[in-house]
Structure 1
Amino acid sequence: MRTHARAVVVGGGAVGASIAYHLAKAGWSDVVLLERDELTSGSTWHAAGLLPLFNMSYAVSHIHDYSVKFYKELEAETGLNAGFSVVGNLRMAQTQARMDEYRLYASTAETVGIPHEWLTPQDIKDRYPLVQTEDLVGAIFHPTDGYINPADVTQAMAKGARQRGVEVIRRVQVDGFSRQGDDWVVHCTKMADKGGNLISSEDKFTITCEHVVTATGNHAQRTAAMIGTYIPAIPVEHQYIVTEPDPALVEWRKQNGEHPVLRDADAKWYVREERGGWILGPYERNAPACFKFGVPDSFRADLFPLDLERIEEEYMSMIHRIPSSETAGLKDDFNGPICYTPDGNPLVGEAPGVRNFWFAEGFSFGITAAGGTGHYLAQLMTEGEAEIDMWSLDPRRFGGWVNREYATKKNEEAYEHVYILHHPDEERPAARPLKTAPCYDRMAARGAQFGCVNGWERPNYFAPEGFSDHDARSFRRGGWWQYAEAEAKAVREAAGLIDASAFTKHVLKGPGATAFLDWLTCNKLPKVGRINLTYALTVAGTVRTELTIVRQAEDAYYLVTAGAAEAYDSDYLAKMVEDKIGEFGSMYLANVTAQYGVFALAGPRSRDILRDLIVAEDPAAALTNKAFPWLSAKQIDLGMVPTLAIRVAYTGELGWELHHPMEMQNHLFDRIMAAGEPHGLKLVGARAQNWLRQEKSYRAFGSDLGRDATPLEAGLDRFVDLDKEFKGKAAMLETGIRAKCVTVLIDGPDDADPWGREGLFHDGQMIGRLTSGGYSVAFGKQIGIGYVRPDLAVTGQALKVRIMDGLYDATVTEDSPYDPKNETIRMNG
C-alpha cells in the first residue's frame, strides 16, 4: 500500500471512480482511491441509473454529454460491460409552456451538439402505443441516452483506473486531513469488515499527497468540516418503486426493442423499463432533507421506510399515462438519500481557504455527471483550467453565510423543482428574503419584484400593486416585460436609479499593492483619483475575474467585482496576496461588501439630480466634465452621507455609482428620490439594466466572460496592455483567437427575445452561440452578445439565430451600437 501519492481521492462511488480514472488518464498514475466500505456503497448502489441529457446549463450539458459518450467506450478498454441501455429518453409535455421550456433547452443542447427530435402526440402513439397521448401537446426525444447499471459502470471505471496505475483501497475510513509543508496528510483507519467496524487504533495509517479530492456524497458536510469549512450539500429522500412485469409491456417487447425512458415533467416523474415491469421515480412535493447534521456512523448502505402516501399522486399519474401499468403489482421499493445543493448544481472545484484540496460533492444526478466531472476536474487539477467554464459549479459560489438551515430549505426546494417549469426568469422563493439592503422595504413599497444574487435581494423590475411575479414568468415575453421596457426607456431619456449594493467590494492597500495589482491584472493601473476596468487571468490566459479598480492613493485601491462572485473572488484574491506578499511587499486585503451600499444613478438628467444633492461651494461646477471627468472617482458629500462617487455607468449613459455607508442608505435613498422627482427619475431593475448594457456591448462576467475565453477573444483588446507582464499573458497570446465576441441585432419574433443560450448559424451551419440576449429599446428589436467563428466577426455579417422554434435574421453590429463614440456617457455639463 502506498504511503505517498500525487493525489488521494476519497469516496468510491461513481464520481470518485471517474475522478481517479481521469486523473490517471491525464498522466497522474500515482493516485490512491479510498472507500470506507465497498465501491458503490453510497448513493451509487440505490441510484436508478438514468442518464438524462436535458439541462439548461451549458457547463452541465457538456458534463452530461461527455458521460454518455464515455460510458459507451468503457467496455472496449476494460472488458467490463457498463450496463448501458441506449433506449432513448422521451420527455413529454402537457402544456405549450412546457414545450417552450423544451425549445429553450434544445437551444442549449444544439450548441453542445446533443441530438434530439420533436414528436407530436400522434408520433408518440405510433411509436409507443402503451403511452396515453390525448392530453399531450408534444415531446422531445433524445435517442442517444437511456439508463445504465450504476454498480457496473463504477466497477468498469475503477478497473480502468487500476489498469492505469491507480491503487484502490477499500474499507478505509478517512478520519481527517492535516498539512505537512505544502503536502496533505490523509489520516486513515482500516475497517474490520463489511459492516464497517473498526479493527483497532493500531490499524491507523497516513498517506501523504500533493492533492486531495473528496467525492464523499452524503458525507460531504463531515468531509468539509475536517478542513474547517462548510458546504451546503445535504441529502434529500428520493424514493422509487419497481412493479411486477406488465403483460402489455412484455408483449410489446416481443416485436420491439426495449422501451425508452419516459418523463412526464408536468406529472413530476420518470418511468423506465425494468425486467418487464416499470420503475417509477417521482419528484414530489415535501420530500424531506435528511442528515442535516451529518450521516450517523451506523448508516451504511441503508434505506429509509417508504412513504407511499407522499407519492400517491405521482403513482396515479403513471397509471393514467401508462394504463397497462395498473395491473402490475408492486415488486420493490427504495427510499434513499441523494445529495442536493441550493441551486441543484454540484460543487466541483477548489475548496475555499486551502490549496490543492478539491470538492466533487452535491450530485443529485451523480451517475449522469460522474464521467464528465472526472474529465473536467482532472483538467482543472492537471492543467490549471478546464476547456469549459466551471464557474457555475465552483464550490465558492456559496459564501460563508450559507448554513445548515438555509441549505436544508433550499435543497428541499431544489428537489421539488426538478420537474417544475424552469423559466429563465424564475426566482425560487425558499429561504427568502434573507440578506437585504436597508432600502429593501422602501423599494418593495414601490413595487420592486426581487431577484436573489449571492443571497442579496435585488430588484429585477418594478410593477404596480397586486402584480404577481410568479404569474408574470414566461419563456417568451412575460408579464414583467412592459415594465422593464419602460425602465430602460427612462434611463435613455431621463434618469434611473438602480440598487447595486450586491456588488462585491474589497479594499487593498500597502507597499506591495501597486506592484501586485499590476502583475495580477492585464490593463494599465489607473492614476490616483481615476478608475479602470481590468481582468485577472487564469493560468490558461482566460478571464478569471473582472475588476473595476478605483485608485484612492498611490498604494490604496478599492476593488469592485461581480456580486454573485463574492466568496469566489475573495478566496482568490486572498490566495494571490498570500502567494505574492513576499515578492511585492506587505499588503492588507479586506472584504467590505456588507459595509457599503451602492446606487447607480444614470441617464441624461443624472447630473441635474446630483447637483441638487451635493454639498459643495459651487454644486454646478463640482460635477462638470472638467471637475469630475468620466472614469474618475471622488469622495463627495450627498447631504449628510459621505459617498465615493464613481463616474461610470453600466447602462452606457451619463451616470455615477454612489458607494455609501450601508447604515446611511435609507437617508440617501430618500434624498435621491425627492431630488429626482422633478427630473423624471424612475426606479430601475436588473432586467432593464441587462438590456441596456448589451446596447453598449458591455460584456457580463459569468455569461459573456469566463474561464473559456481570453480577453482578446472577448474583444477586450483596449483593456489589455501588452507592453507589461502580467499573470496569464503568455498563455493568452499562445491561445490565439479561437472565437470572437460580437454583438448582434436580431429581427426576431414579436413575442419572444433570446435569453443568451441560443445557437448562431451561417449557411445552415452552427458557427457560434449567444451568451447574452434581450431587447433593445434604442433599436426596437432583439439584441444579443455571443461568440462566432473569427472570420464571421465582421460588422454587417448576416447570421441566423435560433429563438424558440424558428431561425431569425441577425446582423453583426459594430461594438457599442448605441453611442459608439461614447458621446452620451461623456456628456458635457
Structure 2
Amino acid sequence: MAELPSKARVVIIGGGVVGCSVAYHLTKLGWKDVVLLERKQLTSGTTWHAAGLIGQLRASSNMTKLARYSAELYQGLEAETGVATGLRQVGSVSVALTAERLEELYRNAAMARAFGVPVEELSPAEVKARYEHVNLDGVTGGVWLPTDGQADPANIALALAKGARQRGALVKERIRVAGIARDGRKVTGVDWISDDGQAQGHIACDMLVNCAGMWGHEVGKMAGVNVPLHACEHFYIVSEPIEGLSQMPVLRVPDECAYYKEDAGKMMLGAFEPNAKPWAMEGIPKDFEFDQLPEDFDHFEPILEWAVERMPMLGTAGIHTFFNGPESFTPDDAYHLGLAPEMDNVWVAAGFNSIGIQSAGGAGMALAQWMEDGQKPFDLGDVDVSRMQPFQGNKTYLYERSKETLGLLYADHFPYRQKETARGVRRTPFHHHLKERGAVFGELAGWERANWFANEGQDRAYQYSWKRQNWFENSAAEHRAVRENVGMYDMSSFGKIRVEGPDAEAFLNYVGGGDYSVPVGKIVYTQFLNPRGGIEADVTVTRLSETAYLVVTPAATRLADQTWMMRHVGDFRVVITDVTAGEAVLAVMGPQSRALLERVSPNDFSNAVNPFGTAQDIELGLGHARAHRVTYVGELGWELYVSSDMAGHAFETLFETGQDLGLKLCGMHMMDSCRIEKGFRHFGHDITCEDHVVDAGLGFAVKTDKADFIGKGAVLERKEGGPQARLVQFRLNDPEPLLFHNEPVVRDGEIVGYLSSGNYGHTLGGAIGLGYVPCVGESAAEVLASSYEIDVMGTRVRAEASLRPIYDPKSERVKV
C-alpha cells in the first residue's frame, strides 16, 4: 500500500460521485495536497446503483444552474480522462394524470423558460408522439425537456477521480476514518485504519470535507457537526431485453410514483413510493460494499401493477433484476452543502436525495469555489447545511421524517404543502392557546407556527391546490383585521440573539451595515453584508443597554446568522448567545393596536414617548413586557416580548381585553400577504447573499459615513455606479391568477427575470410579486416606462410595476 501523507491541505471523506467531484474541482482550482479517503471501493455505497438520470430543471435558478453545469461537465469528461461517462442526451417526458399535476408541470415549464432551460408543453397526443410506448389512459398532458439525459453513474465518479489524480490528488481506497481530532472550532486531522487492519496512521489537515453519503451523519458526529440524513430503501426493476426497444427519453409518471429509463434494450422502472422504508436505524453494517438489500416485492407490487398498465410492454417482459439499495434522504429533501456552522474548517457535501448524479458536478464546483474564496460563489441557501437545526440530527426524528421525504420527490409539490411526519418538536409558549382557538399549524425549522385560523366547524387541515386553497378566505379575513382594525399573531419562533460586552457597539458597527451608535431603546433595521455587498442576513437590532443588543432574525436563519457573527468576532470583546426560547413574542398590529395596548398597560404608547423604531419596558396586565414598535405588515403596531414564564398571562390578558375591539387571531399566511403588499423583502427569496443591497432597494439601511464595515467598499461602488438590477413590485391587473414565486417576468415582450416571491394582496385586489429587473445604465423612470407581464402557467398576464410600495408608499400608516 502506498504511503499516506502525514499532512494534507484537505482530506475528503467518501469516494462516491460527490467526493470525487469535490476532489476534481479543488485540483482544477490548483489545490495541492488533496487527499480523498474511501472506506471500501470508489462508488461502493450509493453511486454504483444510482439510476443515472440527468435532469436539468430544479426548483430554483441556482439549483438549475448547478444541474446544467453537471451535464456540461460530464459531456467533456471522457475527452479529458479517457473514461466513458455514457452520457446520452435523450430528453425527458413528464406526464400528468390530474388537472392539478398538469398545472404544476405547466408552471414548471414557465419557470424553465425563465431559467433558460428548453421546454415544451405537451398535449396527450403530443406525449404519445414523444413516447410511443406509453398508455395514455388518464393522461391530461405533459412537458418535454429535450436537454435532459442519462449516464453511467459509476463511470462518472471514476472519471472525476481520474481527473483529480491527474492533477495531483491522492485517492486512496480501503482506508477508513476511525477518528477525527479537534481543537476548539477546528479539526486538526484524521486517524485512519486500513480495511484489513494492518496499517493505521494520522493525517493532519487544514480542512475536512464530509462526502460520506449515507455515512455522513455518523462522520459528522465524529467531526462535531450536525449532518441530518437517513438511509432509505430505494427500489427498481430491470426487465429482460425487449425486442425492438431502442433509445427512448426518460419518462416520469409522478402520479404513479414511477420513472422509466431505457438502457441497452431493457426497461428500468424505479419508484418513489409515498411511504418509504427507512434502513439501518442501528447503523450501517461495517462491511457494506456494493451491497443490496433484501427484496420486498409486496412493498413494490402496487407500483408495478400501475406500471404494467402504463407501460404494457412490461406485462410481457420478464424481470431480469429486482434491486433494492439504500440512498440517503434529508429532512427537507434538499442536499447539504457548505461550511458546517459548528466548526470553522469542516465542509459538507452529502444527503443528495436520489439526485446525486445530476447534482454532483455542480455541487462539487460550488463547494470548491466556496472553499477557495471563503465565501459562497452565489446563493446556495436552498442547500446550505446551516439551515438545519441542531435537533434535526436526532436519530428518531430522522427515521420518522425519512419515511415521508422519499415519497415527496414525486408527490404533488403544492404551494404551502406542509410536512406531516416528525411534527410537534418545537412549540411556542402560546401553542395551546392558539390550538384551542382554531389554529392550523405549519412547520418551519421545527417550529409549529399558526399559519391560519379555522372557523367554527371548519376542518382544521389544508386542502391543497394550485388554485385558492381552503384557507384563502380565512387568511383574507385576518388580513383585513390587521389592515382595518387589530390582529394578533405569534412571532415567538423568530430568532433572538443577544450580543453583549464592552465592544458590542463597535462589533455590530463592523459586522452590520447600519449605525448602531444609537440611544438605548432604539431599533435599527439592518443587513449583514458580505464583501461583495450581498445580503447575508436581514435583521432588526435593538439596543437594550450600553453594552447589550438584541438581534432578531428569521426563524430559519437564526443559526446561520449567529454563526456569521461568531466567525467575525475577531478581537472584539463580545459574547453572542441564542436566547430565542427565553422570550415569547406577540405581534399586535392594526389601526386599533394602540387602543388595545392602552387598555392592558399604564405605559404611554404615543409617538412622543414610543415613536416608530423604539422599544420600551412596559407593564402588561399583572406582569412585564418589552414593547418594540416595528412592523412587518405595514401597519401601526407593536411586537411584545414577554419572558416565557409570563407568556400565558400576557396572551390571556390581550385576547380577553381585545374582544370588544374585535381583536382577531392571525397566522403566518396573513403576515406574508401583508408584507408583500408593502414591498417588504423576504430573506431567502427576495434578498440573498448574491443580491446586492443597493439593487435590493435597501441602500437606505446602510450607513456609509461610519467607520469601516464588511461590504462598505462594494456599497460605495454600487451607489456611485448605480444599481445593476432593481427589485420591482408587480400587481396583476387580473384579480384571478395566483402568484407563488419563479414566474417569469416579461418586459416589453421579452423574459428578463422571474419573481423572487409572490402572494395575494387582499387589500390591493390582486396577486402581488417581487422580482429583479436588470437595469444596467437605466434610470428608475426608464425601468418603469416599460410594459410588464407575468407568465402564469404559460399565460402572460399584464402587471402594474412599481419601485415604491404600492400599499402606503410613504409609510404613513405605521407612524400615526
Task: Give me the whole-angstrom Cα distance separating, in 2, the residues matched to 1:688 and 1:805.
Answer: 28
Q: 2:432 aligns with which of 421, 437, 441?
A: 441
Residue 64 of structure 1: SS of its match in structure 2?
helix
Cα displacement (A) at 1:729: 2.0
Task: Give me the whole-angstrom Cα distance separating, in 2, the residues matched to 1:799 and 1:384.
Answer: 38
Compare 365-374 and 283-292 and name the one that shifted more.
283-292
Contact 1:121 1:134 in 2 (8 A): no
Q: Which amino acid letter does the alignment assign opposite residue 205 of structure 2?
A: C
What's the counterpart of residue 498 of structure 1?
489
What's the counterpart of residue 763 of structure 2?
778
Q: Does 1:741 align with 2:727?
A: yes
Q: Structure 1's 182 and 430: CA in aligned 2 closer, same or farther, altered over 3 A?
A: closer
Residue 539 of structure 2: SS of its match in structure 1?
strand
What's the counterpart of residue 452 of structure 1?
443
Q: Deviations over 1:279-329 (max 9, x none)?
A: 111112332211234322122221111101101110011110111211111
Q: Does 1:239 align with 2:235?
A: yes
Contact 2:180 2:191 in 1 (8 A): no
Task: Give me the whole-angstrom Cα distance separating, in 2, the residues matched to 1:549 and 1:799.
Answer: 37
Q: 1:476 aligns with which of 445, 462, 467?
A: 467
Residue 567 of structure 2: SS of its match in structure 1?
helix
Task: Give me the whole-angstrom Cα distance separating, in 1, the residues matched to 2:784 and 2:596.
Answer: 37
What's the counterpart of residue 615 of structure 1?
602
Contact 2:274 2:411 in 1 (8 A): no
Q: 1:392 aligns with which of 382, 387, 404?
A: 382
Q: How many percent identity over aligned positions?
A: 37
Task: Give me the whole-angstrom Cα distance separating, in 2, the residues matched to 1:148 and 1:54.
Answer: 17
Task: Give me the whole-angstrom Cα distance separating, in 2, the residues matched to 1:754 and 1:352.
Answer: 34
Cα displacement (A) at 1:135: 1.3
Task: Give me the whole-angstrom Cα distance separating, in 2, the residues matched to 1:24 and 1:112.
Answer: 29
Q: Structure 1's 391 and 246: CA in aligned 2 closer, same or farther, altered over 3 A?
A: same
Residue 335 of structure 1: SS of its match in structure 2?
strand
Q: 1:627 aligns with which of 609, 616, 621?
A: 609
Q: Structure 1's 521 and 321: CA in aligned 2 closer, same or farther, altered over 3 A?
A: same
Task: Give me the whole-angstrom Cα distance separating, in 1, the residues matched to 2:255 and 2:446.
Answer: 29
Q: 2:371 aligns with which of 373, 381, 384?
A: 381
Compare 66-75 and 42-51 and name the one that shifted more.
66-75
Q: Which amino acid letter does the alignment assign opposite residue 766 of structure 2?
A: K
Task: Give me the whole-angstrom Cα distance separating, in 1, the residues matched to 2:50 and 2:613.
Answer: 55
Q: 1:219 aligns with which of 190, 215, 222?
A: 215
Contact 1:174 1:186 in 2 (8 A): no
Compare 292-301 and 169-178 and name the one that shifted more.
292-301
Pairing 1:718-729 to 2, within 5 Å after superposition: 718-724=700-706, 725-729=708-712
Residue 528 of structure 2: SS of its match in structure 1?
strand
Q: Structure 1's 473 and 183: CA in aligned 2 closer, same or farther, altered over 3 A?
A: closer
Pairing 1:782-801 to 2, within 5 Å after superposition: 782-790=767-775, 791=778, 794-795=783-784, 797-801=786-790
Residue 472 of structure 1: SS of its match in structure 2?
coil
Task: Give me the whole-angstrom Cα distance separating, in 1, the residues matched to 2:574 and 2:14.
Answer: 39
Q: Which amino acid letter does the alignment assign opposite residue 16 of structure 2?
A: G
Q: Structure 1's 385 and 105: CA in aligned 2 closer, same or farther, altered over 3 A?
A: farther
Task: Give me the whole-angstrom Cα distance separating, in 2, the residues matched to 1:747 and 1:292.
Answer: 53
Cα displacement (A) at 1:387: 3.5
Residue 333 of structure 1: SS of its match in structure 2?
strand
Contact 2:748 2:786 in 1 (8 A): no
Cα displacement (A) at 1:722: 1.2
Task: Give me the whole-angstrom Cα distance separating, in 1, the residues matched to 2:113 and 2:416.
Answer: 21
Q: Deviations over 1:345-380 (max 9, x none)?
A: 111111122111101111112111101101111121
Q: 1:310 aligns with which of 295, 299, 302?
A: 299
Cα displacement (A) at 1:569: 2.1
Q: Which amino acid letter does the alignment assign opposite residue 602 of structure 1?
A: M
Cα displacement (A) at 1:127: 3.2
Contact 1:542 1:708 in 2 (8 A): yes
What's the counterpart of residue 518 of structure 1?
509
Task: Give me the whole-angstrom Cα distance separating, in 2, the residues matched to 1:308 and 1:567.
Answer: 43
Contact 1:797 1:811 in 2 (8 A): no
Task: Give me the whole-angstrom Cα distance separating, in 2, the residues matched to 1:273 and 1:153.
Answer: 19
Q: Which amino acid letter does the alignment assign opposite residue 218 of structure 2?
A: R
Cα displacement (A) at 1:154: 0.8
Q: 2:352 aligns with which of 345, 363, 370?
A: 363
Contact 1:185 1:206 in 2 (8 A): no
Task: Give me the whole-angstrom Cα distance separating, in 2, the residues matched to 1:314 and 1:330.
Answer: 14
Q: Deviations over 1:239-293 (max 9, x none)?
A: 111110223xx2x53xxxx111111110001111122221111112332211234
Q: 1:701 aligns with which of 672, 683, 690?
A: 683
Contact 2:678 2:805 in 1 (8 A): yes
Q: Which amino acid letter does the alignment assign opposite residue 251 of structure 2?
A: L
Cα displacement (A) at 1:813: 1.0
What's the counterpart of residue 822 of structure 1?
811
Q: Which amino acid letter does the alignment assign opposite residue 361 of structure 2?
A: G
Q: 1:753 aligns with which of 732, 738, 744?
A: 738
Q: Which amino acid letter does the alignment assign opposite residue 747 of structure 1?
A: N
Q: Which amino acid letter does the alignment assign opposite residue 47 of structure 1?
A: A
Task: Give me the whole-angstrom Cα distance separating, in 2, the residues matched to 1:172 and 1:458.
Answer: 46
Task: Give me the whole-angstrom Cα distance separating, in 1, the residues matched to 2:256 and 2:248.
Answer: 19
Q: Does 1:606 align with 2:606?
A: no
Cα displacement (A) at 1:197: 2.6
Q: Structure 1's 354 and 757: CA in aligned 2 closer, same or farther, altered over 3 A?
A: same
Task: Give me the whole-angstrom Cα distance separating, in 2, the residues matched to 1:590 and 1:442.
Answer: 28
Q: TM-score, structure 2 length as denominator?
A: 0.95
Pairing 1:798-809 to 2, within 5 Å after superposition: 798-809=787-798
Residue 393 of structure 1: SS of its match in structure 2?
coil
What's the counterpart of residue 197 of structure 2?
198
Task: Give me the whole-angstrom Cα distance separating, in 2, the residues matched to 1:522 and 1:417.
Answer: 40
Task: Give me the whole-angstrom Cα distance separating, in 1, the residues matched to 2:44 and 2:417.
Answer: 36
What's the counterpart of residue 136 of structure 2?
133
**Structure 2 unaligned residues grouped into runs of 5+:** none
Task: Give me the whole-angstrom Cα distance separating, in 2, the residues matched to 1:160 and 1:320.
Answer: 44
Q: Deviations over 1:501-548 (max 9, x none)?
A: 101001111101111001000011132111011111123331111121
Pairing 1:652-731 to 2, within 5 Å after superposition: 652-724=634-706, 725-731=708-714
What's the counterpart of residue 589 of structure 1?
576
What's the counterpart of residue 290 of structure 2?
301
Contact 1:796 1:811 in 2 (8 A): no
Q: Deviations over 1:431-471 (max 9, x none)?
A: 11221123222212222111112111111111224534655
- Report the aligned-residue RMSD: 1.9
Task: Give me the whole-angstrom Cα distance separating, in 2, the residues matched to 1:54 and 1:467.
Answer: 38
Q: TM-score, structure 1 length as denominator?
A: 0.94
Q: 2:422 aligns with which of 403, 417, 431?
A: 431
Contact 1:606 1:654 in 2 (8 A): yes
Cα displacement (A) at 1:6: 2.4
Q: Which amino acid letter does the alignment assign opposite residue 800 of structure 1?
A: E
Q: Structure 1's 214 and 229: CA in aligned 2 closer, same or farther, altered over 3 A?
A: closer
What's the counterpart of residue 619 of structure 1?
none
Q: Aligned pairs, how many?
A: 802
Contact 1:384 1:539 in 2 (8 A): no
Residue 659 of structure 2: SS of its match in structure 1?
helix
Task: Give me the whole-angstrom Cα distance separating, in 2, the residues matched to 1:718 and 1:310.
Answer: 58
What's the counterpart of residue 49 of structure 1?
52
Contact 1:536 1:545 in 2 (8 A): yes
Task: Give me the whole-angstrom Cα distance separating, in 1, the residues matched to 2:191 and 2:290.
Answer: 20
Q: 1:30 aligns with which of 19, 29, 33?
A: 33
Task: Give me the whole-angstrom Cα distance separating, in 2, the residues matched to 1:259 and 1:465.
Answer: 54
Cα displacement (A) at 1:487: 1.2
